[in-house]
Structure 1
Amino acid sequence: MPQQRGGGMSRRAALLLVGGALAQLSLPRVPPPLDLPVGQAGSAKLGSARLDALLAAHAGALREGELAPLELAELGYRATSWDADSVLAELDYRLSGIDEYPAVLQRRLTLAEGAVTGESSAPNTAAAPWDLGPLRPVHGARCLVLGPAAQDELTALAATGDRAVSAVSAVWGSGWTERLLLQLPAGEDQFAQLLGVDPGTYQGIAAVTSAAAGAPLHTPADRVLVNPEAFRQLSAVGKQVVVTHESTHVATRADTHPWTPLWLSEGVADWTGYLDTGRTARQIAPELTQDVAAGKLPGALPADSDFTAGAEGIAQAYELSWLACDLIAQRHGRPALVDLYRAVGAAGPGAGRDQQLDQVFRQRLGYGLTEFSKDWIAHTERQLSPQA
């Protein structure tokens, strides 16, 4: 990840892959296939009715015991395969006041003498919040923060989350839950556990937003997952930008579809995150500013592949996307940018994404992508030139 010359992580380094990771994680994920042979002797000893009762009793004990601080509206297991010693099951849980739809996790439970004696995430799947250690729920006015991190960090993140919800609602309205669930693990390894990936996969990423597996698009169960090691290196403004960026993805979930180009979805998230921060274009887009100073201007709007983790020029892809959305907002007003975003989502894929996008631009802004791209290149040069 790029570093500032004076040492420490740059704003872009910490935010760099937030949107890219989000684009991969923000739609409901299909859990990977689970491989646990069903033992015939085991299934004979423990019938499905008995197993259901055993899992229900286990869920009840958890709700009334160690998970009581979570104020769960729902918690239940569905066995998918089992033998004499273990069970693979889907765990549905829903947090009161946060989730409109239950999150679904894949779990492995161990059995002994007709009782559940242990539980963990199934191989290569996301961990539950309570897998990381004792939970210390902190309630903000508009958010819930979970995690084993220090209490002062949880409290500070709740305040950041509350401000993010207000900032996002001011732009995108109240047609979303206006509630956030933020998870702050103790370290990067736990951050990887929450995502069900190998440690280091998202090294240097400040946060990602993940939709709970199984949740339909219209009733999501989003989690904003914060990487404490990267997040701690940000300034107060940087932290606010990151959380507001992620909150924008939560708020725009119902309007974001596979045919929504990443430059638009990441651009509106960055644009909302930086709105009213007082940062100049050159401060928001430092890598691109260097390119412009060297005479290197963009030739086309960023492709989805430009946001792939590790892609060359990924920092510039985010910065160019922000500038594209900034141009729309400056020229047509903030409501026009919101309207355009929702119109793209409502239009469907059409015969081709670019053709459909061009048509929406013409309907909503009065000109097509070709003209917009030319204006955006000129806007980039004006905003980032040394004289700006």
Structure 2
Amino acid sequence: MLAERARTLPTRSGPAEAVAEYRNLVLGAAAGPDGLTAAADLAVRITGYDEYPVVHPRRITLVRDRLGAVGGGGGEAGGRGEGGWRVEREEAASGPPALWDLGTVRSAPGAHCLVLALAGGPDPAELVTVADRAVPAVSEVWGSAWAGRLLLELTTTEAEFARLLEGDPAGWAGMAAVTVAAPGAPRRTPADRVTVNPEAWGRLSGFGRQVVVTHEATHVATRADTRAWTPLWLSEGVADWTAYRGSGRSPQQIAPELARDVAAGRLPTALPADGAFAAGADGIAQAYEQAWLACELLARRYGADRLVAFYRAVAAAGPGEDRERWLDGLLRSELGVGLDGFTRLWLDEVAALGR
């Protein structure tokens, strides 16, 4: 019965090919005289994009079909004959909902991407165009070791965007896109999704949209070289640096909030802490701009290749008990400057924004 139901899932994504199956079925308590509850893992792999299936824990209610006729679509599956069962209800048991839990999904393929969008929402065509430009731009910096393709999800509303992230909508307001690791895949695999906030996306200029998607594509490309101990000023900074690279924009145009703070005499004293990048944090725009400026300084002073090599060295080195001391040693060995020295150079760059 569930095998037949799984075969209906690819049609929910239009032409995108999906391979789906239910695993680990566990029957639960009875749901009335003709019903059962069950738990199962729904594993879905988008062909050409997911190296491993994305696993969605599901809660299922089954009811006996006394008439013995059970269809194969619209959420029903089973066999014929008295005593057959059909799925009356299915929902997420834990973790975020699947995109199709929020409505009918349509797909829009590109040369380097696939957009899965909720029907009735924004037209995904422009997102496809932007993503197709982002992938080669990222590969130019980070090489071809990554998959070289993007899977993007586009909801209809900001509230739906927040549901996919299991977050408070107020905390995600203004965030145009987020890259998330697909649940259920082994660690350090490229099964990542770029989830787009349609309301924040709609407020961006064409240039801003390109920056956002190239930023997120950088996170996908560097996933294998990003660890829990990688400072967020570095991971977010290289994503913005890659996105703005070659744009011709001045530092004041790229970091307007930080430039206004500097002009008003509000200067940072240290590189931004990880908490400064949390959704909804005060001064989050300045944190991203500070991170961009730090990586722009590294690339300009030591070269783009050295910045990329340093980023990968951070992942390979592993954390120390004192992250600042560990990072200081790594900066010295890779670039010949300690953390304090680099911070002073960076603070000079920050101050120059006000001149």
The bucket for the TM-score relative to the shorter chain is: 0.7 to 0.9
**Aligned residue type for 1:82:** G
Q: In the alignment, which residue of structure 1 is the partner of 2:118?
A: 148
The one-letter amino acid paired with 1:87 is A
Mapped to 2, the partners of 1:117 and 1:106 lie a distance apart of 17
* Aligned mates of 1:68, 1:296 — CA distance in 2: 51
From 242, 245, 255, the counterpart of 2:225: 255
2:90 aligned to which of 107, 119, 123 = 119
Q: Does 1:62 align with 2:9?
A: yes
The answer to whether the 8 Å contact 1:169/1:178 transfers is yes
**Alpha-carbon shift at residue 115 of structure 1 (Å):** 2.3
In structure 2, distance between residues paired with 1:358 and 1:220:
30
Say yes or no: does 1:323 pair with 2:293. Answer: yes
Matched, 1:285 2:255: yes
CA gap 1:200/1:302 in 2 versus in 1, 3 angstroms: closer
Change over 3 Å in CA distance of 1:201–1:75 after alignment to 2: farther
- The match for 2:134 among 152, 159, 164 is 164
User: AA paired with 2:22?
Assistant: G
Partner SS state of residue 70, structure 1 = coil
Pairing 1:82–2:28 present: yes
Secondary structure at the residue paired with 1:83? strand
Q: Contact between 1:237 and 1:277, CA under 8 Å: does it hold in 2?
A: no
CA distance in 1, matches of 2:121, 2:279: 32
Helix, strand or coil at the partner of 2:340: helix
Which structure: greater strand fraction? 2
Q: 1:203 to 1:240 in 2, by over 3 A?
A: same
Q: Distance in 1 between matches of 2:186 and 2:248?
A: 37
- How far the C-alpha of 1:81 sits from its partner, in A, is 5.6
- Partners of 1:287 and 1:152 lie apart in 2 by 29
- Give, in whole Å, the separation in 2 of the partners of 1:246 and 1:377: 27
1:96-135 equivalent positions in 2, closer than 5 A: 96-113=47-64, 114-122=85-93, 125-135=95-105
SS in 1 for 2:118: coil
Counting aligned pairs with the same residue, the percent is 54
| CA shift for structure 1 position 150 | 5.6
Secondary structure of 1:69's aligned partner: coil
The residue type paired with residue 329 of structure 1 is A
Instruction: Tell me if structure 2 keeps the 8 A contact 1:80–1:90.
Output: no
Larger helix share, 1 or 2: 1
Aligned to 2:354: 385
Distance 2:173 2:266 in 1: 29
The separation in 2 between residues aligned to 1:351 and 1:209, in whole angstroms, is 28
In the alignment, is the contact (CA less than 8 A) between 1:168 and 1:272 conserved in 2? yes
Post-superposition offset of 1:94 = 0.7
Matched residues, number: 330
Aligned partners of 2:330 and 2:7: how far apart in 1? 51
Q: CA deviation at 1:98?
A: 0.4
> Which SS does the other structure have where 2:104 is aligned?
coil
1:280-303 C-alpha deviation (Å, 9 max, x unpaired): 110111111012112332211111
Correspondence 1:137 to 2:107: yes
Contact 2:121 2:156 (8 Å CA) reproduced: no
TM-score (norm 2): 0.88
Equivalents in 2 of 1:79, 1:198: separation in Å?
Answer: 31
Q: Is the 8 A contact 2:122 2:198 kept in 1?
A: no
Question: 1:61 Cα deviation (Å)?
Answer: 3.9
The whole-number CA distance in structure 1 between the counterparts of 2:216 and 2:101 is 23
Equivalent residue, structure 2, for 1:346: 316
Name the stretch that deviates more: 183-192 or 319-328.
183-192
> Cα gap change, 1:256/1:81 in structure 2, threshold over 3 Å: closer, same or farther?
farther
Moved more, 363-372 or 82-91: 82-91
User: Using a 3 Å threshold, how does the CA distance of structure 1 residues 175 and 247 change in structure 2: closer, same or farther?
Assistant: same
> CA shift at 1:73, angstroms?
3.5
Bigger mean CA offset, 114-123 vs 217-226:
114-123
Aligned counterparts, 1:208-223, within 5 A: 208-223=178-193
Aligned partner of residue 253 in structure 2, secondary structure: helix
Partner of residue 143, structure 2: 173
- Residues 3-39 of structure 1: CA distance to partner in whole angstroms, max 9, x if unpaired? xxxxxxxxxxxxxxxxxxxxxxxxxxxxxxxxxxxxx
Classify the secondary structure of the residue corresponding to 2:41.
strand
CA gap 1:216/1:189 in 2 versus in 1, 3 angstroms: same
Gaps of 5+ in 2: 31-35, 65-84
Q: CA deviation at 1:110?
A: 1.6
